[in-house]
Structure 1
Amino acid sequence: MDYIKQIIDFIPVSDQESQDKKIILDYIKKFPHNILLRENDFAHITSSGFIMNKSLDKVLMVHHNIRNTWAWTGGHADGDTDFLHVAIKEAKEETGINTVTALTKNIVSIDILPVYGHVRRDKYVSAHLHLSVAYVLIASENETLIVKEDENSDVDWFPLDKFTEDYFDVRDVYLYNKLIDRAKQINNDIEFY
């Protein structure tokens, strides 16, 4: 499926998503030659996977080296127009899990996320924006977890009651709880049919 159509087909459920979707589509029109590449220093598309267990009561998180906090998995599109493939590939690479499926093949969240300036592999990366598309992924808690030392320092399952400001930044709490709610709604819709 055409990656622009995937974004167009996403149905926002908040003003934040409506505005972010509009800006992302506008930016794609202005920078079609490098929107999928990191060489666009100001903003580029990323794809993330919010990994939940089958009962949707735990989330698999990684302790991110650069951000120095627990975070979801994901990465740069790097030219790949199959965003679900990117999300699944990154989930496997960052956690060590082997079997992961999408709760739905549709994008479940669109967000513009700020990235502050930082050093990566001995090179300074200026502040920029991630034009984020996200999927809810499902994995088993029985999978063997592996730390990807160049990106994270730990991998662990979190119960849903941890997604509060006691454990996460307020912006992350909003994002992660939005994804938890979406997963439950999608699951209810699947069970209904």
Structure 2
Amino acid sequence: PFCADEGGFRCDQCQPGHKCMRGDAMEEICPAGTYSSPERTSCLECAAGQFSSSGSQYCQDCPAGQYSANSGASTCAACPSGQYSSSSGSSSCQVCPAGQYSASAGSTSCQDCPAGKFSARGGSSSCDDCPAGQYSADAGSSGCQICQPGQYSASTRSTSCQDCPAGQFSRVGAATRCNDCPAGQY
């Protein structure tokens, strides 16, 4: 309670989101990043993963896709690309695993790299194309597979290899084209 009037005969209850100490003539608003204690005698810091604006009675959890690493936050930050936060109240973001990515800040999940693409390490904001001579048949690949001898892949982002046509061959893996059989052979 605080006593606003001189010679007053009563004290007023401190409002939520404010604090009043014994003998105060006016209430004091709790700053952003804090909230008023149940007795309204102090302002307490919001925990990591939470935030508040000035004059708050309680703190709010950071929404999914955002976080606050330290206590006393007035706002939450968006998880950077390559990371995500799937639940509210996060004090940190998780790194997307290899084979997945998140392209934009504030992601609540990661997406699998599509077939023909890959991400070799965690924390990727995009996926790389499989080079010619290699492929990835499934989504969520952390690497590409090499076309076997007798097969080839002429373009990047392949999801499979093609067999060399009749009259042509490839002796080594990762071929980008097949060679004609020499004269006298087939």
TM-score under structure 2 length normalisation: 0.18
- Structure with higher Rg: it is 2
TM-score under structure 1 length normalisation: 0.18
Instruction: Kindly indicate whether structure 1 or structure 2 has the higher relative contact order, using CA contacts under 8 Å at least 6 residues apart.
Output: 1
Report which of the two has the higher share of strand: 1
Report which of the two has the higher share of helix: 1
